[in-house]
A and B are shown apart, each in its own frame.
Chain A
Amino acid sequence: MNEPSQTGMQRAALEVHDLSVSYHLRPVLWNVDFTVPTGQLVGIVGPNGAGKSTLIKAVMGLLPATSGHVRLFDQPLDEVRQRVAYVPQRTSVDWDFPTTVREVVLMGRYGRLGLFRRPRRADREIAEESLRTVGMAEFADRQISQLSGGQQQRVFLARALAQGADLLLMDEPFAGVDAATESAIIELLRTMRREGRTVIVVHHDLSTVPDYFDMVLLLNMRLVAFGAVEEVFTNALLQRTYGGRLNLLSEVADLMHRQGRHGREAR
C-alpha cells in the first residue's frame, strides 16, 4: 500500500483501477481504468446504458465491483468519506417526503456528526451558508415538494457543499433543469475548481462539453478515452463512443446474464 502522499495539487483525486461491475451477472462496466488529478472539472459522457451512473455509484461503494478497485486521495473510500460527496440524480428520491429545504441541506452534516449526535449550531450555520451559496436561502423553510427541478438540484448541491467535500461526484445535475439554474450551477462548479476541488459530472449534453469541462471521459461499457477535452473530445473518438452499439461486448454481456440463470433460455 502506498504511503499517504504529501498535500499538493498534483495528487490524484480519484484512481480507478480495472474496475468491472455487473448487475445480476450482466457486466455493465468492463475494466475501466483512469486517474483524475485534483482541481479538474470532468465530464463523463456516453450513450444511454453506457454505465455512466454505474461508474460513479461503484466509485461511491453503492454497487459492488466484480473486480478492480478505487482509491480516493490515495486512500480507500472509507478513510476519506467526508471529503467525497455524492450528488444523486434528482429523480432518485421522493420529493414529496415531509421535510424542508433546510433539513435536506443539513443532512450533508450527518456523516460527520456520526450516530446519535444532533446537529449543532455550527452545522446549521454551515447549512445556511451553503444555501446562500446556491442562491436558495429564501427557500430554506419551503417543503421540498414545492421546488422546481432546478431548485431541487440546487438543494442537492447545497447538501454536498455543506458536507465540505473536496471531490464531488454528480449524477446528471443538468437533467430537467432550467437554463438559469444550469449556468448558475456550472458557475459554482468553476468556483469550486478554482478553490482546488475536483468535480466529476455525468453529463448528457454533448454541445456544452467543451465549454464546461477541463477533461472528459468517454464511456460505453468500457473506457473509450479519457483526457483533456481538446485532445479527447474529437469526432473520431465520439464516433467510437456513440457510433452503433458495441455489438460484440453487449452480446457477450447478455450471454453471461443468461448463463447466470442456470442456462434457462428465454426462447
Chain B
Amino acid sequence: MMWNELIVIIGSSLLGIGSAAIGCFALLRRRALAGDAVAHAALPGVAVAFLLAGKNPAALLGGAAATGWLSMASVDAIVRRSSIREDGAIGIVLSVFFGLGILLITHIQAGGSAAQSGLNTFLFGQAAALLPEDLWVFGGVSLVLVLGILLLYKEFALLSFDRDYAATSGLPVRRLELAMTTMIVLAVVSGLQAVGVVLMAAMLIAPAAAARYWTDRLPVMIGLAIFFGIVSGVAGALISASGRAMPTGPWIITAATACVLLSMLFAPRRGVLARALRRKRYQRRAEEENVLKAMHHLGERDGRPMESRSIDEIRAVRPFSSDQLGSALRRLLGDRFVERLADGRWRFTAEGARQGERVTRLHRLWEVYLTEHLQLALDHVHDDAESIEHILTPELEQELQQLLDHPAVDPHSRSIPYTGSAPNTTEIRSGEEPE
C-alpha cells in the first residue's frame, strides 16, 4: 500500500472517531441539522481567513471555526428573541452564511488565486490531499472530543434527556450547551478539508443514527457510533484509492450511509426486518389461537371437547382459507396442542384443550369488560375482543377476572369457561406483541 493512501485511511478514521462520538449527542438532542449549519457556515470563515492570512492551514481552520460557531450563536439568538423555531432558524442561518461564503469564494476566484489556494476543496473535500501533519490535527481533535465526552458524560446525558431537570438541579446548562456546541463545531471544522462543507454533517449524524438501531444504552451507542465512524472512514478511503476519479469524501459519506441503511434493515428489535418478523409471528400465533378457539367452540356445541374434528367442521365455525388452516394445524401439531388421527381428523391434546378454552375465556371476559365498564353496545364488542384475546397477558387476565368478579356468562349469554384457569395457565408463547 502506498504511503499516501495509508495517510488518507488513518486520517479518515481519526476524523470519524470524534465526529461520531459527539454526533450521538447532536442526534439525541434533536439537533441533527445543527452540524449542517455549522459546516455550511464555515465557508465564509475560510474565505475571510484566506483573504487575511493567505493559505495558512491553521488560519483557515480558525476562520471556519469562528463563523461556524457564530452560526450556532445566531441560531440561538433567533430562537430566543423571536417566535421562529429552531428548524426555521437553522434554515435561515445556514443559507445566509453559505451564500456569503460562495460570494467570497467567487470574489477570490475572480482574482485568479482560488485555484492554487485550494479553497475549492472546502466545498466537497479532498481527503486524497491529506498530509502527515494533518493526522496530528485530526488525532488531536478526536482526542479532545472523546476526552471531553468522558469527562462530561453524565452532564451531557442529563442535558440531552431532560434539560429542564438538569437546569433545576443546578447544573450550568448554558455553559454545558456552549461546550457541546463548541465540540460540534470542532468536529465539523476539522473534517471540512477532507469531506467538505456540503457533506460534513453526515459524518456527524450517520454513525450515530446507525448506532441507535443496535442498542438502548447510551455508552454502547457512542462506542458503536465510533466504530461505524472508523468503518466509514476506512471504507471510503479504500474505495477511493481503488480507482481514478474516486473522491474520498463522498465515498466516506456513502459508506456511512450504507451503515445506516444496513442498520435500519437488519438491526435486531428496532430494524425493519425484525419488526416485520415480529408482526408475522404475531399473525401466526393469532391464527393458531383462532383454530384452537374454533375447536373449543365445536366442543361446546356437542359437549365433547376431546372429540376429533374434520377440516370441514373447523372451517364451518370460522372461514379459514385451507392454506391458513393447514399450516396453522401443522404448527399446532409440532407444539403438541393437537394430534392428527389416522383418518385425517384432528383432536385436542390436554394442553391444546386448555389453550382453546383460555382464548375463548379471554374473548368473553373482554366483551364483559367492554360492555360493563366502557358501556359499549353489544354489537360493538366482538371485533375488538377478536384482537385483544391474542394480546392479554396472564397478569392482565387475572386483573380482568378480579375486576369483573369472575363473571359466569358473557354479554351474549354464553358461559365463560374456567376449568383450565389454574394459576399455572400459560400462554402458547409469551412475550410477542403486535406492532
The proximity string for A residues 79-120 relative to B, scoring 1 for CB distances below 8 Å and 0 otherwise, is 001101110100011100111100110011011010110110
> Quick check: B216 and A98 within 8 Å, CB to CB?
yes
Q: Which of A94, A103, A111, A143 contacts B171 (CB 8 A)?
A: A111
B221 and A98 contact, CB distance less than 8 A: yes
B435 at interface (Cβ–Cβ under 8 A)?
Answer: no
> Do residues B157 and A93 form an inter-chain contact, with CB atoms below 8 A?
no
User: Within 8 Å of chain A (Cβ to Cβ): is B161?
Assistant: yes
Using Cβ atoms and an 8 Å threshold, which residues of chain A touch B171?
110-111, 115
Tell me which of B164, B170, B216, B217 contacts A92 (CB under 8 A): B164
A99-B161 CB under 8 A given contacts A110-B155, A115-B155, A116-B152: yes
Interface check A60, CB cutoff 8 A: yes
With a cutoff of 8 Å between Cβ atoms, the chain A residues found around residue B151 in the complex are 116
**In the complex, what residues of A have CB within 8 A of residue B155's CB?**
110, 115
Once A110-B169, A163-B169 are accepted as A-B contacts, the answer to whether A62 and B217 lie under 8 Å apart by CB is no
Name the residue in A60, A100, A115, A163 with the highest tally of chain B Cβ atoms < 10 Å from its Cβ: A115
Is A99 a contact of B154 with CB atoms below 8 Å? no
In the complex, chain B residues 75-89 whose Cβ is within 8 Å of any chain A Cβ: 83
By beta carbon, the residue of chain A nearest B83 is: A24
Number of interface residues of B (CB under 8 A): 28
A78 at interface, CB cutoff 8 A: yes
A81 touches B168 (CB 8 A): yes
A210 at the B interface (CB under 8 A): no
Residues of B within 8 A of A24 (CB): 83
Contact with A along B25-68 (1 / 0, CB 8 A): 00010100000000000000000000000000000000000000
- Please measure, in the bound complex, the distance between the C-alpha atom of A85 and the C-alpha atom of B215, giving whole angstroms: 31
Q: Does A68 contact B (CB under 8 A)?
A: no
A199 to B164, CA, bound (A): 19
Instruction: Determine if B170 and A111 form an interchain contact, defined as CB atoms under 8 angstroms apart.
Output: yes
B217 CB contacts on chain A under 8 angstroms: 98-100
User: Within the complex, what minimum Cβ distance (angstroms) separates B1 from chain A?
Assistant: 37
CB contacts (< 8 Å) of A93 on chain B: these are: 161-162
Q: Give every chain A residue within 8 A of B216 (Cβ-Cβ).
A: 98-100, 143, 145
Q: By the criterion of a CB under 8 Å from any partner CB, how many residues of chain A are at the interface?
A: 34
A61 at the interface (CB under 8 A from B): yes
Q: Check B218–A107 contact: CB distance below 8 A.
A: no
Q: Is the CB of A81 within 8 A of B169?
A: yes
CB pair A86 B152 closer than 8 Å: no
Complex: A86 Cα to B220 Cα, angstroms = 29
State in angstroms the CA–CA spacing of A52 and B155 once bound together: 29
Contact status A88-B165, CB under 8 Å: yes
Beta-carbon nearest neighbor of A60 in chain B? B168
CA distance A111 to B170 in the complex (A): 6
**B31 to chain A: closest CB distance in Å?**
13
Contact B162 A107 (CB under 8 A): yes
CB-CB under 8 A for A78 and B170, given A98-B217, A116-B151: yes
Chain B residue contacts of A110, Cβ below 8 A: 154-155, 158, 166, 169, 171
Q: Does B296 contact A (CB under 8 A)?
A: no
Q: Which among A103, A113, A163 has the greatest number of chain B C-beta atoms within 10 A?
A: A103
Question: Quick one: which of A34-89 are within 8 Å of B by CB?
Answer: 57, 60-62, 78, 81-82, 84-86, 88
Contacts A94-B161, A107-B162 given; 8 further ones with Cβ under 8 A?
Answer: A60-B168, A61-B167, A86-B164, A86-B169, A99-B217, A107-B157, A110-B169, A159-B165
Q: Could you list 18 examples of A-B contacts with CB < 8 Å? A: A61-B168, A78-B170, A81-B169, A86-B165, A88-B162, A92-B162, A92-B164, A97-B161, A98-B215, A98-B216, A98-B220, A99-B161, A107-B154, A107-B158, A110-B154, A110-B155, A110-B166, A110-B171
